[in-house]
Amino acid sequence: MRTPRSTRSARPVRALTGLLLAASLALAGCSGAGDSGGGSAKAASDADAAQAGAPGGTEHGKATRAAPRLTPDAIIRTASLTVEVEDVPKALRAARTTAEDAGGYVGSETTGRDADGHEHTRVVLRVPTGKYDEVLTGLQGTGRLVDRTAKAVDVTDQVVDVDSRIKSQRASVDRIRALMEKADKLSDVVALEGELSTRQADLEALLARQASLEDRTSLATITLSLSETPVRQADDSPGFTDALSGGWHVFVAMLRWIALALGAALPFAALAALLAVLWRRIVRPRLPRRPAPAPATTALGPLPSARPVPDPAAEAGEGGRD
């Protein structure tokens, strides 16, 4: 039985239509999946940005900006304080308590007295860097602040450089040790041992420097000077009152030295006066007196005594009377 021509021509048209419809449905599904995937990726990126505090993040429809995350800097902090107090031991105990409560300790301490008997103390305190400002404020309140000096040095570059050199040096030491395990000749082993000792010494020096930087950056150094006497500033110039006071002190010191000299010479003067009295009253009267000297004579007899020279005027007067 033969199929009519119209029926045979309609079959290819139906097949082509079905293929076109399937292709359009497939394209629509791909575009929808692409849109949904892109939307979910964008939403995920927005959520991540909002969580990380990036400029692209959104929260409640508003752009949020988090504070930038700074790397911790390595800073060496030092300070010097000069405080005048009424009671040095009491102020020293208070300074120790303040440092220990902050987690620090007393590094060194020097105590003495001046010529007037006033006590003065110099103490070095090591406190954590986080408590530096708090401890400094507490120490200033122990008395009258005379002088204060604070200094901060950023050594971040040095810390980073030392850390990098330590890593490189450790890798170098490991390479030398690996070569020593593979060396067969005695001369190579000796040479490698010498090189290993040199590099280990360099590594130990770097480690010591790293420990020193860590200690100085983690603990601040505060030098506290406590005194009972007024401390004169370096830029103060003396005035008339200072000159008058200085002259009075010099005059009093001179009188004191004169009195001391007289007091030291008084026993000797009393002894000399006593000896003089004994000589004149007791010893001298008992001494034999010396005879009077005899008149001078010669072999021909005693010398003629000198006659007075006659006065012509007297003689002339006597002649007139005759």
Domain co-membership, 89 together with 146:
yes
Q: Which stretches within 150-286 are classed as H helix?
A: 156-182, 186-218, 240-278, 284-286
179 in the same domain as 133: no
Q: State the amino acid at position 155 in one-letter form.
A: V
Regarding whether 150 and 79 lie in a shared domain, the answer is yes
Is residue 211 in a domain? yes
> Is position 111 within any domain?
yes
> Is 201 inside a domain boundary?
yes
DSSP tag of 103 = T
| Residue 126 domain flag | yes
Residue 279 lies in a domain: no
Q: What is the count of structural domains for the chain?
A: 2
pLDDT digits (tens, 9 = 90+) for 19-36: 555 555 454 444 444 444
Question: Which tens digits make up the pLDDT trace of 49-79?
Answer: 444 444 444 444 444 444 433 345 689 999 9
Tell me the CATH number at 108. 3.30.70.260
pLDDT band of 166, cuts 50, 70, 90: very high
What is the Cα–Cα distance from 145 to 139, expressed in whole angstroms? Answer: 9
Residue 130 counted as domain residue: yes
Residue 49 lies in a domain: no
The pLDDT tens digits of the residues spanning 167-192 come to 999 999 999 889 888 888 888 888 98
Containing H/E element for 312?
helix 312-321
For residue 273, CA distances in Å to 181, 252, 270, 287 come to 103, 30, 5, 20
Per-residue pLDDT at 164: 93
Predicted TM-score (pTM) of this structure: 0.46
Residues 119 and 168 in one domain: no
CA distance 228 to 230: 7
Round to whole Å and give the CA distance between 188 and 233: 67
Q: What is the per-residue pLDDT across 216-247, written as a single tens digit (0 to 9) for each?
A: 999 999 999 998 866 555 555 677 787 888 88
Residue 284, both tokens: 């001298």
Last residue of a domain, one of 106, 125, 156: 156
Q: How far apart are CA 195 and CA 207, in angstroms?
A: 18
Q: Are residues 152 and 162 in the same domain?
A: no
Q: What is the pLDDT of residue 144?
A: 87
If you count DSSP H runs as helices and E runs as strands, how many of each does the chain have, helices first?
Answer: 8, 9
Domain interval for residue 130: 75-156
DSSP letter at 180 equals: H
Mean pLDDT of all residues belonging to the chain: 74
178 and 116 share one domain: no
Identify whether 88 is part of a domain.
Answer: yes
Per DSSP, the residues of 44-92 read HHHHHHHHHT-TT-EETTEE--PPP-PPPP-EEEEEEEEEE-S-HHHHH
